[in-house]
Amino acid sequence: MRFSKHTHLTRGRNLPAPYFGKLAFRSFLALLGLGFWLNVSTAQTVLIDPAGAGGFELGATFAANGWSVSSGTNNPWFVGVPGGGTDPAAPMAGNKAYVSNDAGATRVYSITAPCQNYFWRDITVPAGESKIILTFNWEAQGESTWDLWQVFTAPTSIVPVGSDTHPGSGANNVPTTITGATFIGNGNLQGTVQTATLYLPPNLAGTTFRLIFLWKSDTSGGTQPPAAIDNISLVSSVAGNYVSVATGDWTAPATWGTADFPSPSDNATIST
pLDDT digits (tens, 9 = 90+) for 75-92: 999 999 999 999 999 999
Tell me: pLDDT of 4 over 70: no
Instruction: Give 238: exposed, middle or buried? Use CB within 10 Å, 0-12, 13-18, 19+.
Output: middle
Phi-psi region of 87 (alpha: psi -120 to 50; beta: other; left: phi over 0): beta
pLDDT in tens, 18-29: 332 333 433 433
- Work out the end-to-end distance of the chain between its first and last CA atoms, rounded to an integer number of angstroms: 18
Question: pLDDT band for position 148 (50/70/90)?
Answer: very high
Residue type, 104: G
Tell me: pLDDT of 62 over 50: yes
Question: What beta strand segments (E) does 35-162 contain?
Answer: 45-48, 68-70, 77-80, 96-99, 115-124, 131-140, 148-154
pLDDT at 1: 53
pLDDT in tens, 215-237: 999 999 999 999 999 999 999 99
pLDDT at 32: 37
Cis? peptide before 76, omega within 30° of 0: no
- Tell me the residue length of the chain: 272
Burial 27-60 (b: 16+ CB within 10 A, else e): beebeeeeeeebbeeeeeeebbbbeebbbbbbee
Q: Maximum distance among all alpha carbons in the chain?
A: 66
How many whole angstroms separate alpha carbon 248 and alpha carbon 226? Answer: 39
Dihedral sign for Cα 243, 245, 246, 250, please: negative
E strand or H helix at 32, and its extent?
helix 23-34
Phi-psi region of 113 (alpha: psi -120 to 50; beta: other; left: phi over 0): beta
pLDDT at 200: 98
Mean pLDDT in residue range 198-206? 98
